[in-house]
Structure 1
Amino acid sequence: MAANKENFDLLEKLENLSIFRLCKFIENHITTNLMEGGIETRPANSNGLWSCILLPTILVLYSLGYNVSLLYKIMACLSVGMLFYCILFSIFLSVSCMVLKDNIYGGCVASSFISAILMYTVLDQELWFSVVYSMLIMHIFSLLLRNALTKFPKTFTIGEAMIVVQGITLFLVMTCFRAYYKIGDKSDEQMEFVYSVNFTILTTVGIIVIALTLMEESERNLKSLSYVVSIAGTYALVMLHMLVGVDCIIKLASYILLDVKKVGLFSIWLLMSIFAGFVIYFRTRIQAKASTVTRKSFHILASVVFLTGIIYDVHLITLAAGFGLGLLIFVETLRKADIDPISPQLQAAFDVYSDEKDVGYFAMTPVYLYVGLACPLILVPVHTGHQLELLSGVLSIGVGDTAASWFGSKYGFNKWSDGHKSLQGTSFNIISQIAVVYVLEMFEIFAVPNGLFKIMFVGTVTGLVEAKTDQIDNLILPLVTVIAFQIVGMFI
């Protein structure tokens, strides 16, 4: 009781600080303005404004601490501009919701100058390149952010929309720069091959999504879908021919089938995917609503795939991650396209496995899960001990969050102050992450300097954030985990 009173007094003192009062003031006014403007965000206790700092922090810290490629540093500079825009956006939104509805570009210009100055002075890029691309990218970011909040009601909180749009914008810039400007780390030829294939896959899916979006509802049918897929498939073959070579299909097949380890991993992943598909199919047939623990079982399956891939073949799991992301986006597009009989069946499966957070236009929770597991593959550069950081998504949401959900639902008798999650669940979250790393090191599956000490700190940070945040765990926790690894790496 005394400890709880001390914690309450500490929180009360923090809330009395001017910076916390200012943040709370902005938060309250944003919520009021959103309601008055008829803007519906995903139901949550807060807008999650703090989330916008996560992705830029990761990129900047890695750019400062490690020998990363020029492309990575450009992404870091652009992310700083996006962070500055998010701060201005939050301030403007606390004054009026008109920033969401009118084409107000003042914040874009100011944010563009921040990125342009960094690229010109720090990275020694040409002035025209820095200014033009900073302006263009910041306007794209602004447009996507406003559309995410206005066109797709109840899908994102403000913070979640900021992270998602930051990620989409930076990913598009990265793929375009890598493909057309040949900027990137060219020392790893195998990874360059993987990036070329993934670029082709994702742009092909993008063509399908755009085509189906532009169609009238009356035009969406199986025949139209077959035409669109045929055109997109032709584009994919042309792109592979240009990026990989004339024998692109042979190279791709040889890359997977001529290596025993790759064949073994691919076979295991394929069997697990088929098993998951059958489970979803039969549960949809009987229309049995999935519980939280049931949904978490898919976290485990996905985590095993990424865990084995990261440990045994990073290149192959990166290739598989690109294919899986494209497939996931394609399936979600079909669900929303109203194409009989595909869309109704996908909607039925969604109704069975959706949770209380999936109330918006898109099914974001499974997308967040997949992206959360895969994002360290892009964000974490190669350095000593980076294997543990690549497992940030697996440890935080595949292991910790799943363990907290299962253990807390059974033995969570003592709740946190908000009354939602339990102390027992949080404790098991932390312990499970430490235990997994301990087992991996004990069996010499991989060895990271001071890995056990690092995960003790990181697991504690992740567990506490999972217990207190009302933003979607699958999106937030992997980014928090990567930052925690970066911080502890400065001292250990």
Structure 2
Amino acid sequence: MEELVVAAITLCVALSLSIDHILEFSAIVALAAWAWFVESRQKGKNPYSSFRPGVSTGIFLGSITWPLVLASRFNSSLDPASTSKFSFWSATLCSLRLLNFFSIDTSSVTLLGQSSLFDYFKGGIALFALSIGFANATGFKDLIPIAVLAIQSCGSASFLRAILQNFPGCGTPGELILVASGLALYGGNLLLTILGNPIHPLDCMLQVGVFGLSLMPPAYKCFLWLTRDSKTVSFAAAFLSIMLTIAPAWFRLVAGVHRHPVLWVVNFMLEKPLLRFGLCLYWLAALCLLPYLYNIAKHNGAPQILVRKGYHILAVMMFVPAVLIEKEFLHLAFTVALVIFGLVEMLRIWQIPHIGPRITEFMAVFADHRDSDKLIVSHFSLLLGCAVPVWFHHGWRLRPLATLAGILSIGIGDTMASYVGYNYGSWRISSTSKKTMEGTIAGIVSLGFSCALIQRLVSPICFQTYQLAIPAVLAGLLEAYTSQMDNMFVPLVFYASFLAM
């Protein structure tokens, strides 16, 4: 059933494209067909010992998600057509490159082993075909974007291998295709900004955060060798060295801002001190509920699934007002939160004395079957599910409700589905699932109603009922039937289907 829902989402986005995007329409259909075929070949074999067991591979969903998100932006994008098409072809190429891993005979070849010459040949053919397609579609013959396409394609494969080697068993093939493709696409974006593409300082702050986090592991290992295995000193030295050297250098190179990022943030806050500091105080007050949720989860024996949804409700309380009154500040706040989450997880993974064990003890209370000792991803998926639509929609005035796609689908739709399904559900949607028809319907209705209510607040433009209902139904059905991490996929699907309407 998951494949049928994904196929419906694919058709929803593909059929929304105009005749000018017939080549992109063909690419979506071809990619979807190939991804479905690859997943069908592996169904029931379960050959992937490096992935989370007990669930479907999710190859179809993971491969098609980023191309659908970027294709949905064609009809309402404020970006130049060449930029939008380049992003789409980049995502399509990364997905096709990663599908090569799963199209081989996994009974005799492991994903961590060396790729065969035939694997490289297929990757080269895909790169050549899509590069020519991009050039013909946009009329842009420069070698630079084609070179970036090649780098992103190779980068996506490298990211997948690195994740499997360092964090085996932490995700499904579909989830890791989504993550590896996303990292490769963002890496290509970093490269293009170095080559001179203009960028807003807020987007540069996100780059500084992501780039700085990626440099922490090698810097930590270097200082660990210099300090003779002093973990605390090494972590502090790695963080300070990046903050004092790499971060300001990147900010100056890319955004042209000749001040330290921390000073820029202070100046940004002082531009609207009452509003922005007031939001900070409001968020701190909301976060005071965390100890209460922790005590409920640890001592009162409440169902973990409902306690976890408390975080979703907390996200709605914190972020919906911010979207309505100060989206740029929320963009920055999500960036800071991502950096903090990344640093906290590094403290936990590296077991920094006195801090790491306490973080592990706290996080273990809220971990579920999708987390492991090596990597706890639940809090990252919640943060990124809410944040990615905000980052994606930065600077757009069209379809402002799309900014809330993650917050509403996770905070309201998913939460209501879980609450109603757990307390009142009796009709299972399938014999192998714990989710119920009552919960699914409640999630869809609550998501559609909240979208209609907020739409009247954020935009005077009236929407037809189907323009809100269809995205809500597709997002609700995906949440009900997928065995992947729904916080990663449902916000992106809801975002893409909403823009496609």
1:90 aligns to 2:98 (yes or no): no
What's the counterpart of residue 43 of structure 1?
A: 53
Distance in structure 2 (CA, Å) of the matches to 1:75 and 1:161: 19
Superposed CA deviations along residues 237-264 of structure 1, whole A, max 9, x for unmatched, are 4444554224765543232133132232
1:161 aligns to 2:176 (yes or no): yes
1:310 aligns to 2:323 (yes or no): yes
What's the counterpart of residue 459 of structure 1?
A: 472
User: Which residue of the other structure, out of 277, 293, 302, is the alignment partner of 1:263?
Assistant: 277
User: Which residue of the other structure, out of 228, 233, 239, is the alignment partner of 2:243?
Assistant: 233
What's the counterpart of residue 15 of structure 1?
A: none
Distance in structure 1 (CA, Å) of the matches to 2:336 and 2:264: 16
Q: How does 1:55-454 map to 2 (within 5 A)?
A: 55-63=66-74, 66-69=77-80, 70-93=82-105, 96-104=108-116, 105-178=120-193, 180-184=194-198, 192-212=200-220, 215=224, 219-235=229-245, 236-240=247-251, 243-246=256-259, 250-259=263-272, 260-273=274-287, 275-279=288-292, 291-359=304-372, 361-380=374-393, 385-418=398-431, 419-441=433-455, 444-450=457-463, 452-454=465-467
Q: How many percent identity over aligned positions? A: 20
**Relative contact order, higher structure (CA 8 A, sep 6+):** 2
Which amino acid in structure 2 is aligned with residue 437 of structure 1?
C
**Contact 1:465–1:477 (CA under 8 A) maintained in structure 2:** yes
- The alpha-carbon deviation at position 319 of structure 1 amounts to 1.1
- The alpha-carbon deviation at position 310 of structure 1 amounts to 2.1
- The alpha-carbon deviation at position 331 of structure 1 amounts to 0.9
Superposed CA deviations along residues 80-108 of structure 1, whole A, max 9, x for unmatched, are 11122233332125564345411443343
Change (3 A) 1:421 1:249: closer
Change (3 A) 1:357 1:218: farther
Change (3 A) 1:55 1:82: same
Superposed CA deviations along residues 110-129 of structure 1, whole A, max 9, x for unmatched, are 33224422443333444432
- The alpha-carbon deviation at position 49 of structure 1 amounts to 0.9
Change (3 A) 1:169 1:25: closer
What do you get for the CA RMSD once the two structures are aligned? 3.1
Distance in structure 2 (CA, Å) of the matches to 1:218 and 1:421: 51
**Contact 2:36–2:60 (CA under 8 A) maintained in structure 1:** no
Change (3 A) 1:246 1:426: closer
**Contact 1:111–1:138 (CA under 8 A) maintained in structure 2:** no
Superposed CA deviations along residues 152-192 of structure 1, whole A, max 9, x for unmatched, are 221111111000111111122213322x12324x6xxxxx1
What's the counterpart of residue 33 of structure 1?
A: 47
- The alpha-carbon deviation at position 299 of structure 1 amounts to 1.2
**Contact 1:283–1:352 (CA under 8 A) maintained in structure 2:** no
**Contact 1:303–1:373 (CA under 8 A) maintained in structure 2:** no
Distance in structure 2 (CA, Å) of the matches to 1:143 and 1:289: 42
- The alpha-carbon deviation at position 300 of structure 1 amounts to 1.5
**Contact 2:400–2:458 (CA under 8 A) maintained in structure 1:** no
Distance in structure 2 (CA, Å) of the matches to 1:88 and 1:302: 38
- The alpha-carbon deviation at position 342 of structure 1 amounts to 1.0
Change (3 A) 1:19 1:87: closer
Which amino acid in structure 2 is aligned with residue 163 of structure 1?
L
- The alpha-carbon deviation at position 59 of structure 1 amounts to 0.9
Distance in structure 1 (CA, Å) of the matches to 2:140 and 2:455: 43
Change (3 A) 1:40 1:310: same
Structure 1: tracts of 5 or more residues without a match: 1-6, 8-17, 187-191
Which amino acid in structure 2 is aligned with residue 330 of structure 1?
L
- The alpha-carbon deviation at position 288 of structure 1 amounts to 6.9
Which amino acid in structure 1 is aligned with residue 132 of structure 2?
I
Superposed CA deviations along residues 293-330 of structure 1, whole A, max 9, x for unmatched, are 11111112123333222222221111111111111111
- The alpha-carbon deviation at position 208 of structure 1 amounts to 2.1
Change (3 A) 1:221 1:66: closer
Superposed CA deviations along residues 325-347 of structure 1, whole A, max 9, x for unmatched, are 11111111111012111110111
**Contact 1:89–1:107 (CA under 8 A) maintained in structure 2:** no
Instruction: Compute the TM-score of the two structures, normalised by the length of structure 1.
Output: 0.84
Distance in structure 2 (CA, Å) of the matches to 1:284 and 1:348: 13
Which amino acid in structure 2 is aligned with residue 401 of structure 1?
D
Structure 2: tracts of 5 or more residues without a match: 5-32
Does the residue aligned with 2:365 lie in a helix, a strand or coil? helix
Which amino acid in structure 2 is aligned with residue 66 of structure 1?
S
Does the residue aligned with 2:55 lie in a helix, a strand or coil? coil
What's the counterpart of residue 21 of structure 2?
A: none
- The alpha-carbon deviation at position 149 of structure 1 amounts to 3.0
Distance in structure 1 (CA, Å) of the matches to 2:268 and 2:125: 46
Distance in structure 2 (CA, Å) of the matches to 1:377 and 1:370: 11
**Contact 1:153–1:360 (CA under 8 A) maintained in structure 2:** no
Which amino acid in structure 2 is aligned with residue 78 of structure 1?
S
Which amino acid in structure 2 is aligned with residue 130 of structure 1?
P
Change (3 A) 1:457 1:281: closer
Distance in structure 2 (CA, Å) of the matches to 1:122 and 1:338: 50
Distance in structure 1 (CA, Å) of the matches to 2:359 and 2:376: 11
Does the residue aligned with 1:62 lie in a helix, a strand or coil? coil
